[in-house]
Amino acid sequence: MSSKNLSDFNFVIFGGDGDLALKKIFPALYQRLNDDQIHDNSKIVVLSKNEKDSEQFRNQLNAELLKRIPEADQKCIARLCAMTTYIKIEITNPEDYESLRLLLSTNGHNHSIFYYSTPSSLFGYISAGLHGKKLIDPNSKVVLEKPLGSDLKTFEELNKTIRKYFKEYQIYRIDHYLGKETVQNIMVLRFANYLFELAWNRQHIDYVEITVAESLGVESRKDYYDKYGALKDMVQNHLLQLLCLVAMEAPSELNADNVRNEKLKALHALQKYGADDIKKATVKGQYTRGKIGDAHVNSYQEDIEGYGSTTETFVALRVFIQNWRWAGVPFYLRTGKRMPERYSEIVINFKPVPQNIFPEKAPLDRNKLVIRLQPDEHIELEQIAKIPGPGGYRYKSISLDMDYKSSIGKQFPDAYERLIMDVIRGNQTLFMREDEVRASWEWIHSIIDHWEGQELKLYQAGTQALSDDVLMPGHEWNKI
Ligand code: BG6
């Protein structure tokens, strides 16, 4: 869609000179402007507490964009800068919203998007400040970044605050995994290919693995991470969203509510843990010193300078979905920091053949569908094939490999490009509805409420110590 079809808008970013804005939001706006999807008449307003003026912010933005997109077109950066105004604001002071009101009233656009790129403790102040100056109307939208609460109670409080000012149709809760091309492709793979649907159930699938491994540690977000840990930082949102896309039923039509209704049903069908199965079905770990490639890296406790912290940096869960399609099929969810390499992958492991008729003694591997979400995005179907040669049937597992880059030949846009354009266009399909977030917190509580006394296993940074076979059928932890 070209910019001609979109009305001009105000894109107002609170915390707009922070990390997320400079790394993700502005590069995405640049790309969409460069592709003529956004019109130069639209306005971007950056609000932050830092002492600077628009000119200084534009210089900062110019340098950041050149750093992040070396091939960027200088003219397009200049256009983006010209659209952008900086306002210094004390977010908690309602009077400071007057300059924003004046600016927006001169722009003359009746479509404002308020992007809250700040800690969630400020969401209430921002909403009240906007409301106080009558800046929220039925055309306004609000974009919220995680974390949306740190448990069910804090989520409900936060949600109540936002819902006081915005209706659900105006709220865009970002889970950036949903904006990734390969994640969107899960629905296409499942619902545009009849072949897979025939086998996508408990009759044919033995188990499913969903893994998000990162080689990075906690980086600059010590305080946040130590409060949340891997379960709340990754499983409550990204991994559960991936699980929903694998497990949900086909929506009758591709619109936001139909898709989210189906995801919600999958979340409601998740079996909750009880005190007795939590030990068998969940593992938490924390990294110790180790090596990633050739580099020596610190332990988690050294990274956060918090000796004695019991926050988990690795989680493995065995999850069951209680419905007719999935009853009895384990889903293994794993995520961890300081793994040997960064990759996100979904593997559908099919059942073995009922009987091996071939005389060769080697066991037959199973068919597997490997959906590599990142990096090296590809989809592999592992099948058993005869090794050519006379005299008998020898076989091995080979892959039918669909590599995105060579098959589709296109550079992937960043998740934020798609998500920001969806906000502008008003498409909520890839954003979490409040009941989805509520359901995922409710389920997460069945873990946190029983996790207190559970052993925190240590793993050496850069090793698979806990990932390999963790919780897989036959593994020792299964027998505990
Ligand atoms: C974020 C988490 O939501 O996702 C981070 O807070 C994590 O801890 C990141 O590193 C991973 O995202 P991606 O897109 O790099 O896989």
Q: Give the separation between CA 59 and CA 64, rounded to whole angstroms.
A: 9
Q: How many Å lie between the centroid of ligand 1 and the Cα of residue 238? A: 9
pLDDT in tens, 383-413: 999 999 987 888 889 999 988 888 887 778 9
Say yes or no: 139 and 190 in one domain: no
Q: Specify the pLDDT at position 257.
A: 97
Instruction: State the pLDDT confidence band at 1, using cuts at 50, 70 and 90.
Output: very low
Classify residue 318 as exposed, middle or buried by CB count within 10 Å of its CB (0-12, 13-18, 19+): buried
Identify the bridge partners of residue 16 per DSSP, sorted by sequence position. Answer: none
Residue 104: φ, ψ to 5°: -65, -30
Mean pLDDT of 290-295: 93
Q: Specify the pLDDT at position 479.
A: 42
| 28 close to 16: Cβ distance less than 8 angstroms | no
Q: Indicate the Cα dihedral angle 122, 123, 129, 130, nearest 10°.
A: 150
Domain total in the chain:
2
Identify which of 144, 148, 176 to mutate to test ligand 1's pocket (most ligand atoms within 8 A of the CB).
176
Mean pLDDT of 354-371: 86
How does DSSP assign 357-409, residue by residue?
A: -SS--SPPPPPEEEEEEESS-EEEEEEEEEPP-SSS--EEEEEEEEEHHHHH-
Q: Give the separation between CA 161 and CA 226, rounded to whole angstroms.
A: 25
Mean pLDDT of 198-220: 95
Q: Specify the pLDDT at position 480.
A: 36
Say yes or no: 189 and 135 in one domain: no
Q: Is 214 in the pocket of ligand 1 (CB under 6 A)?
A: yes
- Point out the residues that are catalytic: 238
Q: What is the pTM of this model?
A: 0.95
Q: Give the separation between CA 8 and CA 16, rounded to whole angstroms.
A: 20
Domain membership of residue 368 (yes or no) is yes
Instruction: Report the chain's C-alpha Rg in angstroms.
Output: 24
Q: How many Å lie between the centroid of ligand 1 and the Cα of residue 37? A: 27
34, 368, 383, 404 from 380: Cα distances, Å: 34, 8, 9, 11
Mean pLDDT of 424-430: 97
| 455 close to 281: Cβ distance less than 8 angstroms | no
Residue 245, pLDDT above cutoff 70: yes
Instruction: State the pLDDT confidence band at 382, using cuts at 50, 70 and 90.
Output: very high
Q: Give the separation between CA 316 and CA 231, rounded to whole angstroms.
A: 9
Q: How many Å lie between the centroid of ligand 1 and the Cα of residue 31? A: 21
Structure tokens at 379: 């989809």
Give the atom of ligand 1 at the shortest distance from the alpha carbon of 146.
3
Instruction: State the pLDDT confidence band at 5, using cuts at 50, 70 and 90.
Output: low
Residue nearest to atom 13 of ligand 1 (CA): 177
Domain membership of residue 160 (yes or no) is no
Q: Select from 47, 48, 38 the least CA-distant residue to 9.
A: 38
Q: How many Å lie between the centroid of ligand 1 and the Cα of residue 98? A: 35
Q: Specify the pLDDT at position 102.
A: 95
Q: Select from 80, 98, 92 the least CA-distant residue to 28.
A: 80
Say yes or no: 140 and 201 in one domain: no
Q: Which CB contacts under 8 angstroms, 24+ apart, belong to 135-140?
A: 135/97, 135/100, 135/101, 135/104, 136/165, 136/166, 137/110, 137/112, 138/167, 138/170, 139/110, 139/111, 139/112, 140/111, 140/112, 140/113, 140/114, 140/166, 140/170
Q: Specify the pLDDT at position 7.
A: 81
Q: Is 151 in the pocket of ligand 1 (CB under 6 A)?
A: no
Q: Is 233 in the pocket of ligand 1 (CB under 6 A)?
A: yes
pLDDT in tens, 33-42: 999 999 999 9
CATH of the domain at 136: 3.40.50.720
Say yes or no: 360 and 462 in one domain: yes
45 or 107, which is more confident: 45
Give the atom of ligand 1 at the shortest distance from the alpha carbon of 225.
8
Q: Give the separation between CA 207 and CA 330, rounded to whole angstroms.
A: 5
Classify residue 229 as exposed, middle or buried by CB count within 10 Å of its CB (0-12, 13-18, 19+): buried
Residue nearest to atom 14 of ligand 1 (CA): 177
Choosing from 124, 145, 166, the residue where a domain stops is 145
Mean pLDDT of 371-385: 94
In percent, the amount of the chain with pLDDT more than 70 equals 96
Strand 331-336 to 205-213 pairing: parallel
Q: How many Å lie between the centroid of ligand 1 and the Cα of residue 211? A: 13
CATH of the domain at 375: 3.30.360.10
Q: What share of the chain is helix, strand, coil (3-state, %, to 5)?
A: 40, 20, 40
Say yes or no: 335 and 391 in one domain: yes
Q: Give the separation between CA 137 and CA 75, rounded to whole angstroms.
A: 34
For residue 375, whether the previous peptide bond is cis, meaning omega lies within 30 degrees of 0, is: yes
46 or 466, which is more confident: 46
Identify the bridge partners of residue 45 per DSSP, sorted by sequence position. Answer: 12, 85
Say yes or no: 110 and 184 in one domain: no
Q: Give the separation between CA 236 and CA 217, rounded to whole angstroms.
A: 19
Choosing from 128, 145, 162, the residue where a domain stops is 145
End-to-end CA distance of the chain: 56
How does DSSP assign 241-308, residue by residue?
A: HHHHHHHSPPPSSSSHHHHHHHHHHHHHTBPPP-TTTHHHHEEEEEEESEEETTEEE--HHHHHT-TT
Residue nearest to atom 8 of ligand 1 (CA): 233
pLDDT in tens, 117-157: 999 999 999 999 999 999 999 999 999 999 999 999 999 99
372 or 109, which is more confident: 372
Q: Provide the mean pLDDT of the chain.
A: 93
Say yes or no: 10 and 130 in one domain: yes
Choosing from 145, 170, 190, the residue where a domain stops is 145
Say yes or no: 255 and 350 in one domain: yes
Domain membership of residue 161 (yes or no) is no
Q: Which residues lie closer than 8 Å to 134 by C-beta, 6 or more apart?
A: 101
Domain membership of residue 163 (yes or no) is no
Quote the domain boundaries for residue 378. Answer: 180-411+432-479
Domain membership of residue 79 (yes or no) is yes
Say yes or no: 230 and 127 in one domain: no
Mean pLDDT of 91-97: 97
Q: Is 422 in the pocket of ligand 1 (CB under 6 A)?
A: no
Give the atom of ligand 1 at the shortest distance from the alpha carbon of 228.
6
Say yes or no: 295 and 187 in one domain: yes
Residue 210: φ, ψ to 5°: -125, 115
Q: How many Å lie between the centroid of ligand 1 and the Cα of residue 331? A: 21
Q: Give the separation between CA 189 and CA 176, rounded to whole angstroms.
A: 20
Domain membership of residue 166 (yes or no) is no
Give the atom of ligand 1 at the shortest distance from the alpha carbon of 238.
3
Q: Give the separation between CA 120 and CA 260, rounded to whole angstroms.
A: 24
Give the atom of ligand 1 at the shortest distance from the alpha carbon of 212.
16
